[in-house]
Amino acid sequence: MHIWQMQEAKSRLSEVVKEAERDGPQEITVHGRSVAVVLSRAEYDRLAGTGESLASFIRRSPLANAEDLDFPRDTSLTRENPL
């Protein structure tokens, strides 16, 4: 990851964006402290996920309509309360 000082990143923004797309995330610092990261749109979309709800994901599952699923319960004793 390339590290850019804020002043340099501001003056060379198009280069920062191109490098984010080509080489991955670009870190921006202010007074030596990391304050931001520039990502390509593809990397952002990958990290952000699909935006699909868990219920929709489960409905798409090949097991969604299976009637013969068996989930055995754990019949072991619970822990004793230490109080």
Question: What order of strands is seen across the sheet that includes strand 2-5?
Answer: 2-5, 26-30, 33-38
pLDDT at 42: 92
39 phi, psi to nearest 5 deg = -115, 155
Question: At 37, which helix (H) or strand (E)?
Answer: strand 33-38
> Given pLDDT bands bounded at 50, 70 and 90, which one contains residue 76?
confident
Task: Give the angle 61-50-2 at the CA atoms, nearest 5°.
Answer: 135
Q: What is the pTM of this model?
A: 0.60
Q: In this structure, which topology does domain 2-60 adopt according to CATH?
A: YefM-like fold (3.40.1620)
Q: What is the pLDDT of residues 45-73, one digit of tens each?
A: 888 887 788 888 888 888 888 888 888 88
Token pair of 40 as six digits: 């390509």
- What pLDDT does residue 73 have? 87
Q: Are 59 and 66 in contact (CB under 8 A)?
A: no
Q: What does the pLDDT look like over 3-48, one tens digit per residue?
A: 999 999 999 999 999 999 999 999 999 999 999 999 999 999 888 8
